Amino acid sequence: MKTSILSPSPSKTDIVQEVERLYKIMKTLNWTREQCELIAPLTWEINQRKKEQNAVILAHSYQMPQVIFGVADFVGDSYGLSRQAMEVEADTIIFCGVEFMAETAKILNPEKRVLIPSLEAGCSLAEGITAEDIINLRNQHPETPVACYVNTSAAVKAECDVCVTSANAVEIIKKLDSDKVIFVPDKHMMNNLGPLTGKDIVGWTAECIVHNQFTKEQVQQLRSEHSGIKILAHTECDPSVVMVADFVGSTGGMIKYVKTSSAEKFALITECGLAERLKVEVPNKTILGSCVLCPHMKSINLENTLQVLRSPSPEHEIEIPSTVSTRAKASLQKMFELTTEK
Ligand code: 13P
Ligand code: SF4
């Protein structure tokens, strides 16, 4: 890959146009023109270098709006991003999301270069279980299929039978030929998946540091303060929260719900980046966010994204041993096979 620390230099007109492009979008989020002027040289250079290096940016919906609207080529949930990663034609993928998502892109595209801008972009779920834990679970529950959430390391995916995301977990678990299923690592999701699939789900005890913070009382308060509001909760929330929501699912599912519903007001019980995205994309509806930030997602910014384009250091490049990658890919391929909505 061609990289250079020399900045491509924008003309005055380039920057004026970039400020206008950003301001048109960001004013919905109450950004001022001055704030757009501050980031315009960065977004301009990132977009320029992407073209020069034949690179694309895949970003999760929890990313900051300046990443989503300033530089991303595709924005989505874990499932959408994994599908998109398979279709990328560029030589390099810059992943503005968390490490397990970048790893998934690499597993699906071993020949491409995958870079992650921040080394802080972990995930409390992915860090909550090891490959050895899966081997022990299999010994405790012989003959039981193992479905692992995509929020896991490549090594964990390699030990599972099928990978799932919040967009397809219910569909896939229902299709598995067993009344009992091991689901790892999210404790709340495991408890939600029992009633949602009608199966006996056993699993693990990891939690998402963001979704673990929401309570049933908060949801009830929202309902009492906003008549007609629709409450959308992520599958990683505690079952007591899910029970009082109007919709439960992935961030992609929530976006679809808001865009297609005839209701006018929505509360998103998930990381607050999703609300920021939807305020821009669906300006005619009222979106209430949560103000709970994922520090891992938010460790990515325009500066470190530009840095990996200027001069990536080896730690930012995702590498997975081929013995692990091949087996992890089989779990992901099984997921694609069992998911109806492509
Ligand atoms: P989604 O796949 O629903 O976007 O979820 C990803 C995630 O990390 C939720 O916290
Ligand atoms: Fe992981 Fe939770 Fe952050 Fe999603 S929001 S990346 S599950 S810690």
* Contact 297 CB / ligand 2 (< 6 Å): yes
At 92 the pLDDT is: 97
Query: What domains can you pick out in the chain, each with its CATH number?
Result: 12-121+297-311 (3.40.50.10800), 126-207+320-338 (3.40.50.10800), 211-288 (3.40.50.10800)
Residue 185: cis peptide before it, omega within 30 degrees of 0: yes
Whether residue 2 is predicted with pLDDT greater than 70 in this model: the reply is: no
Distances (CA, A) of 231 to 107, 108, 214, 252, 293: 35, 34, 12, 15, 19
Interval between CA 317 and ligand 2 midpoint (Å): 21
pLDDT for the residue 8:
77
CA of 123 to the centre of ligand 2 (A): 5
What are the structure tokens assigned to 139, written together?
A: 């010994």
Q: What is the pTM of this model?
A: 0.96
Tens digits of per-residue pLDDT, 232-277? 999 999 999 999 999 999 999 999 999 999 999 999 999 999 999 9
Residues 6+ apart with CB under 8 A from 91: 1, 53, 54, 55, 112, 113
Question: Is residue 209 within 6 Å of ligand 2 at its C-beta?
Answer: yes
pLDDT, position 5: 52
Q: What is the dihedral of CA 283, 284, 285, 291, to 10 degrees?
A: 20
Residue 21 has pLDDT above 50, yes or no: yes
Q: Which ligand is in closest contact with the Cα of 163?
A: 1
At 201, list the tokens: 């789900």
- Cα(43)–Cα(23) distance, rounded to whole angstroms? 12
Q: Please tell me the residue having the least CA distance from ligand 2 atom 6.
A: 123
Nearest CA to ligand 2 atom 8: 123
4: pLDDT confidence band, cut at 50, 70 and 90? low
Q: Give the model's pLDDT for residue 341.
A: 81
